[in-house]
Structure 1
Amino acid sequence: MVSKESTIGIIGAGVMGKSMARNLQKSGYPINVFTRTKEKARELLENNATWKDSVAELAKDSDVIITMVGYPSDVEGVYFGSAGIIENARQGTYVIDMTTSKPTLAVEIARKAKERNIHAMDAPVSGGDAGAKNGTLAIMVGGGQESFDEVRPLFEIMGENIILQGDVGAGQHTKMVNQIAIATNMIGVCEAIVYAKKAGLNPSLVLDSISTGAAGSFSLSKLAPRMLAGDYEPGFYVKHFIKDMTIALDSAEEMGLSMPGVELSHQLYKELAEKGENDSGTQALIKLFEGY
């Protein structure tokens, strides 16, 4: 039974993970934390989180383990092997991968976890840095109903739109749908801003008019203003969006689907990364359309 006395283990304290963990702390949950770069966890440690020197040590001392790392290879690294979560977590532990990763990997984690009586879920999120800070993330969950009900109080601290999409892997597939929708939308937002400027309009006023109409989207209302302000700080990294689109394209290929819009966006973001924008926010795509 997950309660306020349950210790939550956090692996990964980047842009998203740190804020999600901080909200759990503010709600009174004891936190264990491990990251490859200890400095990233400093704020959590200053607020009484307990540092663990390894994934294995954290796994042994936590009742619920939440992972929010970078790439599928990182997910594999923290879950599998003799020093990983599955080999070291106690029976009955809940493990929740909130990284955007491969649906097939989520299924593999759950299969191996079940062999050790560990409850595994995939629960990728959307909402960017602001959603993580404000606890308003959309959380897309794959897993069993009983496990979902048990950890839902934790999800409700980190997010608002929380939906169990189906069995393990369904959360990751839903996040792919999310990223597919964003991919071409970002191209449209950039083209719209460039057009507004070329037509001699005030792009800020244009956004005021169109953001609440049929063109409205998160990218238009939240990221377009950052584009106009020249603010390219990452709410979500270019490099991670490229990773997500790669997973989406690979998953689509496995299902026999063609994704020309995602393919174009993937190509443009790779070009952006090659120009040194890997660690910029996804809104930096406007630079390509403005010719740098």
Structure 2
Amino acid sequence: MTKDKAIGWIGTGLMGSPMVKHLLNAGYKVNVQNRTKSKATELIELGCTWFDTPAEVAANSDVIVTIIGSPADVEECYFGQEGIINGMKSGAILIDMTTTKPSLAIKIAEVAGMHGAQFIDAPVSGGEVGAINGTLSIMIGGDKAVADSVLPLFETFGKNIVFQGPAGSGQHTKMCNQITIAGTLIGVCEGLLYGFKAGLDLNTLLQSISKGAAGCWSLDILAPKIAKGDYSPGFTVNNFVKDLGIALEEAEAMRLSLPGLALVKQLYLSIQAMGKGTLGNQALYLVLEKLSNLNKN
């Protein structure tokens, strides 16, 4: 993929903004659109061109990337009156990097193909830290040749880029990722809570357990935040609840029982009920701590 191709980017939030900066630093021309224009101000000042609607971005871009909110947001962005499908040029490549429903990815691929465009689903893992550092893991579904053609774009902000299979496969892989994180994170939080109640220094504790068999991304990145009471989001509770809901819905469609995932989702719903849905997903510790205090009483 040559750098004379115009990139359209829709979604300039916690993840999207640093990803666009990597593209700019690599010399790409980027058109941007976001539901809230103020969140794109810095990117516009850095040289991005603003368009008011997804359709306008699509009409002025060769490759259009979306990384937005919920499946409903993605559906509207692609199929709405001012959506991408109504504005894109024949031969365009569409890339959805949002974590959304595999079935929606398949639908977009089919409709895009009917209009002479190509689509790949490419959700990411690594959170805001990975986006800033350019080390995201990217899981790709769609046509292999199309995925290969945009590999230089992915390489500006990703390090572990793996093609998984046909349309929807990237999203299914992301569901596996989120299911694994959910189970891992409850173990991390319960381990830290146990350590705290036992009178251990959490940072010293982490020096031991993060380097042994328990070692994982959540221990390396999220556990130190919990130890210092930092619940700022690299990935919010609200977004995680959305992802876990998709995973449970897909599992039900496959007649698959995932009781651990169901439990973790209920705990995250409790965090939302506490009014803390905008915190990082490490805030799982807070609800477990609250339950511990209730048991003590």
TM-score by length of 2: 0.97
Q: Structure 2: which 5+ runs fail to align?
A: none
Residue of structure 2 equivalent to 1:123: 122
- Which residue does 2:221 correspond to in 1? 222
What is the 5 A alignment of 1:231-246?
231-246=230-245
1:86 shift after superposition: 1.3
Return the offset for 1:229.
Answer: 1.1
1:40 alignment partner in structure 2: 39
Residue ranges of structure 1 left out of the alignment (5+ in a row): none
2:150 is paired with a residue whose SS is helix
CA distance in 2 between partners of 1:173 and 1:42 (Å): 34
Structure 2 match to 1:259: 258
Residue 108 of structure 1 deviates from its aligned partner by 0.2
Q: Secondary structure at the match of 1:79?
A: helix
Q: Which amino acid in structure 1 is aligned with residue 65 of structure 2?
A: I
Which residue of structure 2 lines up, in the alignment, with residue 95 of structure 1? 94
Q: For each residue in 1:130-172, what CA deviation from the matched residue of structure 2 results, as whole angstroms up to 9, or x when unmatched?
A: 1000110000000111101110100111100000000000000
Residue 138 of structure 2 corresponds to which residue in structure 1? Answer: 139
Q: C-alpha distance in 1, partners of 2:232/2:44? A: 24
2: CA distance, partners of 1:197 / 1:35 = 42
Query: Could you tell me how far apart the structure 2 residues matched to 1:225 and 1:290 are?
Result: 16
Does the 8 A contact of 2:53 with 2:83 survive in 1? no
Secondary structure of the residue aligned to 2:274 is helix
- The question of 1:273 aligning with 2:279 is answered no
Residues 136, 157 of structure 2: 8 Å contact kept:
yes
RMSD over equivalenced CA pairs, Å:
0.9
Q: What is the TM-score when the length of structure 1 is the normalising length?
A: 0.98
User: What secondary structure does 2:155 align onto?
Assistant: helix
Q: Deviation at 1:55?
A: 1.0
Instruction: Work out the CA distance in 2 between the residues paired with 1:7 and 1:286.
Output: 43
1:27 aligned residue: 26
Superposition map of 1:52-91 within 5 A? 52-91=51-90
Tell me the equivalent position of 1:282.
281
1:200 aligns with 2:199: yes
Q: Secondary structure at the match of 1:45?
A: helix
Question: Partners in 2 of 1:178 and 1:53 — Cα distance?
Answer: 34
Per-residue deviation, 1:235: 0.2
Q: Which whole-Å CA distance do the structure 1 matches of 2:211 and 2:91 have between them? A: 46
Residues 24 and 30, structure 2, Cα contact 8 Å, conserved in 1 = yes
Deviations 1:77-118 (A, max 9, x none): 110033211121001111000000000000000000000110
The residue identity in structure 2 corresponding to 1:128 is: G
Aligned length: 291
Distance between the aligned counterparts of 2:192 and 2:145, measured in 1? 47
Aligned equivalents of 1:287 and 1:36: distance in 2? Answer: 31
Report the Cα offset of residue 262 of structure 1. 0.3
Give the match for residue 9 of structure 1.
Answer: 8
Deviating more after overlay: 205-214 vs 165-174: 205-214
Distance in 2, Cα, partners of 1:216 & 1:71: 31
Name the counterpart of 1:163. 162
2: CA distance, partners of 1:212 / 1:114: 48
How far apart are 1:42 and its partner, in Å? 1.2
Q: Secondary structure of 2:15's partner?
A: helix
1:120 Cα deviation (Å)?
A: 0.3
Q: Using the TM superposition, give the Cα deviation of residue 8 of structure 1 relative to its aligned residue in structure 2, in angstroms.
A: 0.6
Query: Structure 2 counterpart of 1:283, which letter?
Result: Q
- Provide the residue aligned with 1:172 in structure 2: 171
Partner Cα separation in structure 2 for residue 271 and residue 112 of structure 1: 38
Q: For residue 212 of structure 2, give the secondary structure of its aligned residue in structure 1.
A: coil
